Each structure stands twice: as C-alpha cells, then as structure tokens.
Amino acid sequence: MDGAYVTGVNPATSWHEYEIIWKPDFIQWTYDGKVVRTSSGVPSANDIDKAAPLFMNFWTPMWNDWGQGRNDSTMPWYAKYDWVEVYDYNQGSDSFTLRWRDDFNSLDTATRWTVSDGWSFDQNSSTFMATHTYVKNGLLILDMNKRLNRRKLEGDEDEEELDQ
C-alpha cells in the first residue's frame, strides 16, 4: 500500500508505535508493526547516505482531504510521545544499530532537539510555538491551541496558566 491512510484506528485511545525504515532501495512506514506505506524508486530513498533530521511536529494542513472537518473549538489538542529511538543503517550487514533513545525525562535542546518558535510553512494553518513544546511525566508533549502560551493541564496544580 503506498500513500494510503490508516483507517479504522483512533490514535488518541491508546499508545501506538510508529516506525520509519529507510534503506537504500525503499522507505517504509509501519503502524503498530504493520506496514502501511512503502516508497521505492524515489529520490528520497536514494539519499540514505546523507544525514537527515528527525522532525516531531503537530500541525493542521489547509487542504480539504486532511484538514476538513476539524473543529478547533475542541482545542487544546495534544501529540504525546513516550519515547523515540534513532538507529543507524549498516548497508554491509543490512542491519540497524541503536544510535540513541530519548525517554523524555527532560527536553534536551542542547544536543538533541530543536524547538521551533513563531514558524510555519505554506499550506499549514498552525504556527509552531516554543511554549507549546514541553516534557511532563516522561512524555514529550506538543500542545496545539489558539493561545500564544500553553494552557494549564489537568493535574498541574503547581503550574500557573500561561496567558497573553
């Protein structure tokens, strides 16, 4: 299956594993261990020998087949990450070796992650705000809401609500 959407699942109801396998002849995406997309014979698959950044983002597209039907009155929305692992591919052995794992005990902006602030791109109705990216209880949280600063979360008795 190439370019199709995963249907019949709600990623908000439980934790799921997403994996991208990038080899010289293909790129493959999996959802909970099931292959959901494979791209082969494309230029991006041929660039396996070049460094590539890993982006963790949460955005709302402006084209109808993705963005239609969203009701922003239900905000805030959250993308939560429990952990991320990055592997190096060894073409000689056709295997992967763990480079690093982040369990989000803190947000490592010194050596691992870059947090965007006030940035967007064409066809994106969202603006990335640094105040909407944080770590709490061992989770990386990307918070989407209409405020410049993040909302107080349930259970955050020790944090003040940030507003502007």
pLDDT band at 33 (very low <50, low <70, confident <90, very high): very high
Measured distance CA(34)–CA(17) in Å, rounded = 10
Ordered by where they begin, the domains of the chain are 1-51 (no CATH), 53-164 (2.60.120.200)
Amino acid at 92: G
H-run or E-run covering 102: strand 95-102
Cis check for the bond before 76: say yes or no (omega within 30 of 0): yes
pLDDT tens per residue across span 122-156: 878 788 888 889 999 999 999 888 776 655 555 55
pLDDT tens per residue across span 81-98: 999 999 998 989 999 999
pLDDT band at 59 (very low <50, low <70, confident <90, very high): confident
Measured distance CA(127)–CA(67) in Å, rounded = 15
Instruction: Return all residues near 126 (Cβ < 8 A) that are at least 6 apart.
Output: 58, 59, 60, 120, 144
Record the pTM: 0.79
Q: Mean pLDDT over residues 36-48, rounded?
A: 77
